[in-house]
Chain A
């Protein structure tokens, strides 16, 4: 199975819009939403039936037993995450700051601290003719990279026969992005022609290079700044980065999404341009596995 991941660095450049269109163009039978912080692909993917849901156990969280706690403060003194507070009766753990390292439990002279499994999110798996894996991280939780890895492995396990998997990624360059990159054949970076978009493109390309992941770039909403679009195209040419084309800003595209449709479902300037980008990306993907 070839795996195409869609990233952007900057948020809101059109990752999910591109992913949803590609799923249609490819008639993909395996796809995933790895933007576990802010998942959206399920909003435009209909007729998938009911998902199987299971809890995601992210890490552990420390819990202080107030009956046993003698308020000595040893736990607070060793916690590196400022996760322990105290009132006049006992110390307590701030579940949002706690990373579950267990240091507090190790030093507590009363044995008052235990570590419990923490449900940090939910994986949702749609197992029809088309397999779709998605997840939602619980608010404020960390370790999203581990959840991304679970979403991907759920997809691969349940759709082994599919020849192409399309994976929608997260913005940024941190934990969930790095986790989503592992094992993919190609990353499509949807860039935005702006000073922010260019800076973020360079940072995501650096990150891809650290993990030796092959990347191809396209520019979305190119007509909002033809000048910056040309700057991106020059940058790609100078650095020998594959380039797959431009997509215009198109109000019809956002209307389609607000109606719960993929841009591929309508005929508009953006959908035609996306089709061309898709064809070039598929060409790159075939090339990458030779």
Chain B
């Protein structure tokens, strides 16, 4: 089962929830798809880490073969190619690696070479396999790195926890693509609710079953609870704001490995998720 943990707003506790869920489960895989800010590794501190490069194909133009017909420049819809001194030139950061220029070149003057955009690290933390995608600073698109991270788990049939990026754009869409269940981490504030609604719409659109963890609850913020009730979205857990928990998290500790009570809470959450995902499957097959 693959569980995607997402939030819309940043800083609501996606990584906190993902890391602790993976740590209480036996033999889980933790996949950090928040490749712009990969932080799960700071808590899980994986050992025996191996890393592999993530590259995207970048066109290169053979000046000998090129006749200067401009077909490639005209084809490129991303304006990644310009014509300088009668030859095409590529802006690597703008190129989407679609292969169109190579396809339309009548004289086969375009070859593609790999360009490094990030790294994927794999290691072990207790029983947890930790896979981390890391986008190089200055790179625009997170999607190729996310795809690479998700590929690492294709053959696994056990529990995989996907720590997603914030927002509700293309990188979130990619991160949840393989999820069987979406866990939405919400912050009970006006900012949190607005972004929560956006991401809630996204998972509903994809027909993914979902549940909610309300994190950093301090007092009642009824609009969030109301929204969950109205949309029939189960709230699986409420975690009150606690200075002690905040301090543990700030220091990079995995709470469930230090505190039996929190470990119990997260085991309960994991059971709820399994139950919910299972109910959903049964409901699906009955439909």
Interface residues in chain A, defined as those with a beta carbon under 8 Å from any beta carbon in chain B: 8-13, 16, 37-40, 43-44, 59-60, 78, 80-81, 96, 99-103, 106-107, 115, 136-137, 139-145, 170-175, 178, 192-197, 199-200, 203, 206-207, 210-211, 224-225, 227-228, 251, 254, 257-258, 260
Which residues of B have CB within 8 Å of A11?
Answer: 9-12, 37, 166
Q: In the complex, what's the smallest C-beta–C-beta distance from A170 to chain B, in angstroms?
A: 7
Q: In the complex, what's the smallest C-beta–C-beta distance from B101 to chain A, in angstroms?
A: 10
The answer to whether B169 touches A137 (Cβ under 8 A) is yes
The listed residue with most B CB atoms (<10 A of its CB), out of A81, A207, A258, A260, is A258
Query: What 0/1 readout, one digit per residue, does chain B (192-236) give for beta carbons within 8 Å of chain A?
Result: 001100100110010000000000001001000000000000000
Instruction: Tell me whether B103 is interfacial, beta carbon within 8 Å.
Output: yes
The answer to whether A258 touches B221 (Cβ under 8 A) is yes
The answer to whether A96 touches B9 (Cβ under 8 A) is no
Q: In the complex, what's the smallest C-beta–C-beta distance from A85 to chain B, in angstroms?
A: 13
Residue in B39, B140, B205 whose beta carbon sits within 8 Å of that of A196 in the complex: B39
- Give A12 to B185 CA distance when docked, in angstroms: 13
The answer to whether B173 touches A140 (Cβ under 8 A) is yes
Closest A residue to B34 using CB positions: A172
Of B84-92, B245-253, B269-277, the one touching chain A? B245-253
Which residues of B have CB within 8 Å of A145?
Answer: 140
Which residues of A have CB within 8 Å of B99?
Answer: 78, 80, 103
Q: In the complex, what's the smallest C-beta–C-beta distance from A189 to chain B, in angstroms?
A: 13
Which residues of A have CB within 8 Å of B133?
Answer: none
Which residues of A have CB within 8 Å of B36?
Answer: 171-174, 203
Q: In the complex, what's the smallest C-beta–C-beta distance from A10 to chain B, in angstroms?
A: 6
- Give A78 to B173 CA distance when docked, in angstroms: 22
The answer to whether B251 touches A13 (Cβ under 8 A) is no
Which residues of B have CB within 8 Å of A200?
Answer: 37, 39
Residue in B77, B100, B198 whose beta carbon sits within 8 Å of that of A139 in the complex: B198
What are the nearest 8 A-B pairs in CB distance?
Answer: A11-B10, A12-B11, A37-B167, A101-B98, A142-B170, A195-B252, A172-B36, A194-B250
Residue in A137, A199, A254 whose beta carbon sits within 8 Å of that of B37 in the complex: A199
- Give A194 to B243 CA distance when docked, in angstroms: 13
The answer to whether B195 touches A38 (Cβ under 8 A) is yes
18 A-B residue pairs with CB within 8 Å: A11-B37, A13-B11, A78-B99, A81-B98, A106-B100, A106-B104, A137-B168, A142-B169, A142-B170, A144-B170, A171-B10, A171-B166, A174-B141, A194-B250, A199-B39, A206-B138, A228-B250, A254-B189
Closest A residue to B246 using CB positions: A224
A100-B77, A101-B96 as given contacts; A174 in contact with B171, CB under 8 Å: yes
Q: In the complex, what's the smallest C-beta–C-beta distance from B12 to chain A, in angstroms?
A: 6
A38-B10, A43-B194, A139-B168 as given contacts; A225 in contact with B250, CB under 8 Å: yes
Which residues of B have CB within 8 Å of A172?
Answer: 10, 36-37, 142, 165-167
The answer to whether A195 touches B78 (Cβ under 8 A) is no
Q: In the complex, what's the smallest C-beta–C-beta distance from B38 to chain A, in angstroms?
A: 8
The answer to whether B137 touches A142 (Cβ under 8 A) is no
